[in-house]
Amino acid sequence: MRNDGTPPDEGGEDNIFAKELTPAPDRWVRRGTWIGILLLMLVGVFLWLQGGENRALNAMSPSQRQALFRETRDEFEVLCLPDGGGTRFPRKCGQLADFLTHFSECDAACRGEVEPFRKHPTR
């Protein structure tokens, strides 16, 4: 190497000035990558938690599941069906109706009873 600070003219393997060095990733790229990974994990946890009700029902023994279905259906009939529209307890009736639809025991007649109380997405 010469005294003026310029690299030697030889382009040998040991000459670090002849090699192209890759630039270090920008810190915003690294932060963006970590934020993206974190968001994907949060979405995954959210989706897993949404299926928790079904997993809990499927984990029950058939007798427990039948008893819970009967209790929930009885509560729904007492609270929601006498007035024909759930006007006294619209929120509770909607929750019970949605919960009843998760049971395989809820047949066509059951679904017909609970359908008017379920909330459907609107624009």
- Does 52 have pLDDT greater than 90? no
The reported pLDDT for the residue numbered 21 is 62
Main-chain dihedrals φ then ψ at residue 43, nearest 5 degrees = -65, -40
- Residues 6 or more apart whose Cβ sits within 8 Å of residue 17: 7, 8
Using CB atoms within 10 A of its CB, is residue 80 exposed (0-12), middle (13-18) or buried (19+)? buried
Q: How confident is the model at residue 7 (pLDDT cuts 50, 70, 90)?
A: low
Dump pLDDT digits (tens) for 63-105: 888 898 899 999 888 888 776 555 677 888 888 888 888 888 8
Dihedral of CA 84/85/88/89: which sign? positive
Q: How far apart are CA 105 and CA 65, in angstroms?
A: 9
- Does 112 have pLDDT greater than 90? no
Using CB atoms within 10 A of its CB, is residue 65 exposed (0-12), middle (13-18) or buried (19+)? middle
The reported pLDDT for the residue numbered 6 is 57
Q: How far apart are CA 81 and CA 93, in angstroms?
A: 9
